[in-house]
């Protein structure tokens, strides 16, 4: 098929061109001019908190978890990202004296808080008693869960001293006792895939001053 300009079109090409033009002509001008909305920049906020005794100030995407703020922005990589769903306890840190699963809380929620990670408990030359007990009793194998286990154990003993009951505390009107049964229940949120649970309990019991 020839048009007036001398350009040859096949019947198929002619039909495709005609159909496309007809569809375009039927669209309203507003639809033709519509453009996809520009992507919005992520919302950020400033957060200031004490981390291992040092005041830290960060400008963060408001969706940043406390775990990612510690690992990716402050380079405190002792806290581990395990399940990233709050089920394994590998990311446990201590916030204002209480155990916190850092993968489930946003960094901006902790304005002014005091946060302690495994790096803040002790150093290789000056171990925290709980760290030393884990070494003595082989409370780890691969070591991946160990930072969370130790942070959890330290705060757990403080919970018992503060009189906070657990699901296995028999008398809620009396102070909970630091027993192996209590330790196992209170540490149940920290998973050790290597199965070093008995050694972990031995370490905790020694720090608490009771025989395992």
pLDDT digits (tens, 9 = 90+) for 80-114: 999 999 999 999 999 999 999 999 999 999 999 99
What are the residue ranges spanned by the domains of the chain?
A: 44-208
CA dihedral (41, 42, 47, 50) positive or negative: negative
Q: Which fold has domain 44-208?
A: DNA polymerase; domain 1 (1.10.150)
DSSP class per residue in 52-96: TTEEEEEEEETT-BHHHIIIIIS--TTS--SSSSSSS-TTEEEET
Prediction pTM value: 0.79
pLDDT digits 0-9 by tens, 118-161: 999 999 999 999 999 999 999 999 999 999 999 999 999 999 99
Euclidean distance between CA atoms 158 and 186, whole angstroms: 12
Structure-block tokens of residue 184: 């196992």
pLDDT digits 0-9 by tens, 157-206: 999 999 999 999 999 999 999 999 999 999 999 999 999 999 999 999 99
Give the list of residues 6+ apart from residue 135 with CB closer than 8 angstroms, or none: 127
Confirm if 183 and 201 have CB atoms less than 8 A apart: yes
């Amino acid at each position: 098929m020839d048009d007036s300009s001398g350009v040859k079109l096949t019947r198929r090409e002619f039909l495709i061109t005609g159909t496309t033009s007809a569809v375009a002509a039927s669209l309203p001008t507003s639809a033709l001019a519509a453009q996809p909305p520009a992507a919005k920049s992520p919302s950020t906020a400033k957060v200031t908190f004490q981390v291992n005794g040092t005041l830290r100030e960060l400008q963060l995407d408001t969706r940043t978890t406390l775990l990612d703020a510690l690992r990716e922005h402050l380079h405190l990589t002792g806290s581990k990202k395990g399940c990233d769903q709050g089920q394994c306890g590998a990311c446990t840190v201590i916030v204002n004296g209480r155990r916190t699963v850092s993968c489930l809380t946003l960094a901006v929620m902790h304005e002014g808080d005091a946060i302690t990670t495994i790096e803040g408990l002790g150093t290789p030359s000056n171990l925290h008693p709980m760290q030393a007990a884990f070494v003595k009793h082989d409370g780890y194998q691969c070591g991946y869960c160990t930072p969370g286990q130790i942070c959890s154990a330290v705060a757990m003993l403080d919970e018992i001293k503060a009189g906070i009951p657990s699901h296995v505390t028999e008398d809620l009107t009396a102070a909970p006792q630091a027993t192996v049964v209590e330790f196992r229940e209170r540490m149940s949120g920290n998973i050790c895939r290597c199965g070093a649970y008995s050694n972990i309990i031995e370490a905790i019991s020694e720090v608490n001053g009771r025989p395992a």
